[in-house]
Structure 1
């Protein structure tokens, strides 16, 4: 892995793309190569390469609608005299700032540095702080947990129709936005698990609700996974000394009802409901971390 600054992406990828696109737009408006070179601050030979297609920049940025619109606006302004170099620079800086803040520059940065994936480039936007590190640790733990179940074929048979999810809360989480999970949930397809995206905060509702209720009573329990309720799953839990706790499947006030239940009987590692009209029977396996919860779930389904 190469350590790369986002400013390098701007200089090496975005700026050449802007110059190439702007050179073409200015030529279409009747500018000569010399005039284009003067506007862009490059040599006439470079302009010739832009116009011939030898230097086109990065397609990932060239396809961006905002870049295209900005280039057209600047070209029109140069052509009719309503925009000077200062105003053009202001337009480009605004675009680049937008691209850097969870935009296409952020996406390319994550491609170049996989260690940043799932962080939304918060390191660049917010800087390194203790909460950011906690978020990074949680996201990485959920990613590891997802890899674990992806390599456990037996768990496919226990994925509910609504899909399964793996969730983990930050320490002192306040609501679902402090819980990381897989957007769109994980589904069983052709005997395998389909993981649609990297984990993000705020991507779960029901698993997050259960995790938050558990963490409110026992802060060490911050993660969980949902599976389809079955006799075999519950029996496997009992055989391992994990006595499953049954709860009411109704969604209304579930967080408060679970908190009350946990405060009376301690937080279990396995809890379940048998469903109701329009509600599929679901079992939740809880743990201190996402990996912990998933490893328990894998053991129960093996």
Structure 2
């Protein structure tokens, strides 16, 4: 295994969840500058998420349970305007949930051919 679970989470899962969060906020009618302010990121980063230049490796909307959590977080962000640390904490939790539920195994094996999903249970054991 050349690419471990933490690398997959930080390089692919987390950005994909954040991209979905940006999409949900955009669907709620918010402008890029408003989304950037709420998420404590730059407007340029918001633009890249929306153009699929960032976080486009995993389609989080294909996982209804995670997508529902992203939608709930978006509503909470609009309503409560939490700190960047609270948002980060929630995104990390969702990233670990995706790993623990085995949603990322097939993707992991595509980016690292040495990973055999039928033998590797690292994420399921650690985060499941």
| TM-score, normalised relative to structure 1 | 0.35
Q: How far has the Cα of 1:105 moved from its partner?
A: 2.5
Contact 1:70 1:92 in 2 (8 A): no
- Which residue of structure 2 aligns with residue 166 of structure 1? none
Contact 1:37 1:44 in 2 (8 A): yes
Q: Cα gap change, 1:48/1:94 in structure 2, threshold over 3 Å: closer, same or farther? A: closer
Q: How far has the Cα of 1:33 moved from its partner?
A: 1.8
Which structure has more RCO (C-alpha within 8 Å, separation ≥ 6)? 2
- Which residue of structure 2 aligns with residue 211 of structure 1? none
Q: Cα gap change, 1:113/1:14 in structure 2, threshold over 3 Å: closer, same or farther? A: same
Contact 1:14 1:57 in 2 (8 A): no
In structure 2, distance between residues paired with 1:67 and 1:41: 22
- Which residue of structure 1 aligns with residue 19 of structure 2? 20
In structure 2, distance between residues paired with 1:18 and 1:39: 16
Q: Cα gap change, 1:29/1:93 in structure 2, threshold over 3 Å: closer, same or farther? A: same
**Matched pairs, number:** 124
In structure 1, distance between residues paired with 2:103 and 2:50: 25
Q: Cα gap change, 1:116/1:61 in structure 2, threshold over 3 Å: closer, same or farther? A: same
- Of Structure 1 and Structure 2, which has the larger fraction of its residues in strand? 1
In structure 1, distance between residues paired with 2:61 and 2:11: 14
Contact 1:9 1:109 in 2 (8 A): yes
Instruction: Map Cα deviations across residues 213-259 of structure 1 (whole Å, 9 max, x no partner).
Output: xxxxxxxxxxxxxxxxxxxxxxxxxxxxxxxxxxxxxxxxxxxxxxx
Q: Cα gap change, 1:90/1:19 in structure 2, threshold over 3 Å: closer, same or farther? A: closer
Contact 2:100 2:125 in 1 (8 A): yes
- Which residue of structure 2 aligns with residue 258 of structure 1? none
Give the secondary-structure state (helix, strand or coil) at the position aligned to 2:119: coil
Q: How far has the Cα of 1:4 moved from its partner?
A: 0.6
- Which residue of structure 1 aligns with residue 110 of structure 2? 111
Q: RMSD across aligned C-alpha pairs, in angstroms? A: 2.9
Contact 1:61 1:67 in 2 (8 A): yes
In structure 1, distance between residues paired with 2:51 and 2:111: 29
Structure 1 segments unaligned to the other structure (5+ residues): 127-302
Q: How far has the Cα of 1:52 moved from its partner?
A: 3.9
In structure 1, distance between residues paired with 2:113 and 2:49: 31
Structure 2 segments unaligned to the other structure (5+ residues): none
Q: How far has the Cα of 1:77 moved from its partner?
A: 0.8
- Which residue of structure 2 aligns with residue 84 of structure 1? 82
- Which residue of structure 2 aligns with residue 98 of structure 1? 97
Q: Cα gap change, 1:56/1:6 in structure 2, threshold over 3 Å: closer, same or farther? A: closer
Q: How does 1:1-302 map to 2 (within 5 A)?
A: 3-55=2-54, 57-81=56-80, 84-85=82-83, 86-117=85-116, 118-122=118-122, 125=125
For the pair shown, which has the larger CA radius of gyration, 1 or 2?
A: 1
| TM-score, normalised relative to structure 2 | 0.72
